[in-house]
Amino acid sequence: MRKIFLLFAMSTLLISYATAQENMMSLVKSQHFQFIATGINSSLISEYPQFSSMNMDGYSIEVTKKYLDCKLPFVGRVYRNGMNEHHIEVYASKYTYEYKVVKRRKTTDIIVKMSALSNDGGDKLNFTLVISESGRAVLTVVSNNRETVTYYGTVYPYKLYKK
């Protein structure tokens, strides 16, 4: 009886693991998801401790086939005058999008790379999103005119998460 129960439990775990991985992959393939930021890592975070742990204050990236909409807090140095020093805001109807699956020894990650111009057209932003099977993700934003910033959060189906 114990062997049957153990076999059933193991098969259930394997099926749920495969289902979670397929769900993340289908979101990435469909280009219909959002990343909700819950934390930030920057070299200047000690000056702005309020952003070290964000409480889902609506900071996110929404990805659809029609547009990329980004609003994230920014903590760091800005190298060009006149830029928004407190937020990274992008709304782009034209952006590049590519993804690949990286299999490691015990895990499989999905790496999504996106690139878009800022709202004023004066800066190119490169987004790299590394998503685990569970949906936990790390987003790195690299800009020509800003310091690189890393965000931690979770990937959800688009519009499933309510603010």
Q: Give the strand pairing for 33-41 and 68-73.
A: unpaired
Q: What is the dihedral of CA 161, 26, 71, 88, to 10 degrees?
A: 160
Q: Note the pLDDT of residue 94.
A: 92
Q: Note the pLDDT of residue 84.
A: 64
Neighbours of 29 (CB within 10 A): 10
Q: What share of the chain in percent tops pLDDT 90?
A: 36
Q: Note the pLDDT of residue 45.
A: 57
Q: Note the pLDDT of residue 69.
A: 93
Neighbours of 28 (CB within 10 A): 21
Report CA Rg, the chain: 18
Q: Helix (H, G, I), strand (E, B), or coil: what is residue 36? A: strand
Which residues, given as ranges, of the chain have pLDDT below 70?
Answer: 1-22, 42-57, 80-85, 160-163
